Structure 1
Amino acid sequence: MLDQQKMSHKQSRAFQADKLSPPRDFTIPEALASTKKINQPLVLEIGAGKGKHALLFASQNPNKQLIAIERTRNKFEAFSKLATEHNLTNLTPVHADAIAWIVHAIKPKSIACIYILYPNPEQHNPNQQWLNMPFFEFLLSRLSEGGEVILATNIESYMGNAQQQAKSIWCLPTLCEKVPADSQRTHFEVKYLARNETCWQLTMTKPKGYRTRFDNWVTAHKK
């Protein structure tokens, strides 16, 4: 792995990817195994809920492959049912813990865009917020150069911390914008905007030449 001086960020604590077991019944989905589909831009959504954004995105972007991960069983079952009904060939719902699944499924620099829409703010445990976790370095290693991480929240303090961490720790260019009042990407977004709450979106871009400790790291599943 790279030493600290050669990395493009300032996160000193390394994520221990090699100690993370694959999820139960883990398999590589067709979207990653098919040569034809690999040639299409690959998009990842973490915390897809009941799939509102995933279904909309896949229907509006037929030339992109979306993998949407949801950990909670009842939400995933509702999402999976809708995905089956819509029969979108460019959408792959995944029921798993996102961190373990990404570690064992996703190749370095293979993702064009990552959506994290309205995650649990973890106000009592800020170390579990995405940009505070060492795992975020691994996530960035899976993002292609010029690729984006898009984070949305209705909590101003969460957004403020995320933008500060993106700049000072992860050394990423950022763009923070208010979400339009008519946006309806997720059920949470619809609810918050209907209550006239402000929602924010933070777009983080991976610069060319960005370096992490995991740029060449692969699991046994891909060796």
Structure 2
Amino acid sequence: MTENIELTHQKLRAFQPQKLSAPRGFIIPKIINENKDDIPLVLEIGAGKGKHALSFVAQSPDKHLIAIERTRNKFEAFAKLAALQGSTNLDAIHADAIAWTVHAIQPNSLAKIFILYPNPEQHNPNQQWLNMPFFEFLLSRLQVGGEVVLVTNIEAYMDNAEQQATKVWCLPNTRYKVAADSQRTHFEVKYLARGETCWELSMFKPKGYKTRFDGWSIENTGEEK
């Protein structure tokens, strides 16, 4: 971990990736180690049954998506659909996203990160993504100019995320209302059909952004790479 650097963000509490074990059955997708053509690498956290992931890879053949889902029954449904679709630019991963990202993703390697309709954690706000120290590590994996897309139907969640993005993480960001005919996930279809407003926050990593983990890799057990 890099010490004594001037961080771009204002998050005081530091994430401790060295304490996380690799998920059971952990395998690094071939694209991570063999991306000779520099194909843009995209990460989706909480892919559910894969509606967005399968649509994304079909519409973006020039990008490679790694879509992670922790819940077994959702992942199994996703994996079956992925096998039927047969897209070569998709890796469906059954794992905890935090531990998997720590062990698999290298610094400055992701072009985009999707976090679509996460658990709002209304009784445990410390577990909301932008409140977590892990978000700093996630930003260290993002390329300069890379984007994090967060979507929710909970306005209070979005209000907090927007405030955290601006004041704590110091990220340029824009907040949108999701179009009424959008159908990226099963949750999105359900919420919009009920007439609810869904919110999207688009955050970008600016040039010169500094985190504690910019040179950190699990391969060297916490020492700077």
Q: TM-score range by the shorter chain?
A: over 0.9
Q: Does the residue aligned with 1:165 lie in a helix, a strand or coil?
A: helix
Q: Does the residue aligned with 2:201 lie in a helix, a strand or coil?
A: strand
Q: Give every structure 1 segment of 4 or more consecutive aligned residues whose post-TM-superposition deviation is greater than 2 Å.
A: 1-5, 33-36
Q: Does the residue aligned with 2:214 lie in a helix, a strand or coil?
A: coil
User: What is the number of residues matched between the two proteins?
Assistant: 222
Q: CA deviation at 1:33?
A: 2.5
Flag structure 1 segments of 5+ consecutive residues without an equivalent.
Answer: none
The residue number in structure 2 matching 1:23 is 23
Q: CA deviation at 1:5?
A: 6.0
Matching of residue 220 in structure 1 with residue 219 in structure 2: yes
Structure 1 distance, partners of 2:136, 2:199, is: 23
User: Counterparts of 1:11-90 in structure 2 under 5 Å?
Assistant: 11-36=11-36, 39-90=38-89
The residue number in structure 1 matching 2:186 is 187
Q: CA deviation at 1:30?
A: 1.6
Structure 2 distance, partners of 1:9, 1:165, is: 10
The residue number in structure 1 matching 2:110 is 111
Structure 1 residues 221, 184: CA separation in 2 closer, same or farther (over 3 Å shift)? farther
The residue number in structure 1 matching 2:153 is 154
After superposition, the C-alpha distances for 1:55-80 in whole angstroms (9 at most, x for unaligned) are 00000000100000000000000000
Flag structure 2 segments of 5+ consecutive residues without an equivalent.
Answer: none
The residue number in structure 1 matching 2:9 is 9
Q: Say whether the 8 Å CA contact 2:23–2:96 is kept in structure 1.
A: yes
Query: What is the letter of the counterpart of residue 167 of structure 1?
Result: T
Alpha-carbon RMSD: 1.4
Structure 1 distance, partners of 2:34, 2:182, is: 33
Structure 1 residues 159, 16: CA separation in 2 closer, same or farther (over 3 Å shift)? same
Q: CA deviation at 1:34?
A: 2.3
Query: What is the letter of the counterpart of residue 53 of structure 1?
Result: H
Structure 1 distance, partners of 2:105, 2:73, is: 25
Structure 2 distance, partners of 1:217, 1:4, is: 14
Q: Does the residue aligned with 1:6 lie in a helix, a strand or coil?
A: coil
Structure 2 distance, partners of 1:212, 1:127, is: 20
Q: CA deviation at 1:219?
A: 1.0
Q: CA deviation at 1:11?
A: 0.4
The residue number in structure 2 matching 1:175 is 174
Q: Say whether the 8 Å CA contact 1:11–1:134 is kept in structure 2.
A: yes
Q: CA deviation at 1:96?
A: 0.2
Structure 1 residues 4, 202: CA separation in 2 closer, same or farther (over 3 Å shift)? farther
Structure 2 distance, partners of 1:110, 1:205, is: 14
Structure 1 residues 23, 146: CA separation in 2 closer, same or farther (over 3 Å shift)? same
TM-score under structure 2 length normalisation: 0.96
Structure 2 distance, partners of 1:100, 1:69, is: 11
**Once the two structures are aligned, what percentage of the paired residues are identical?**
68
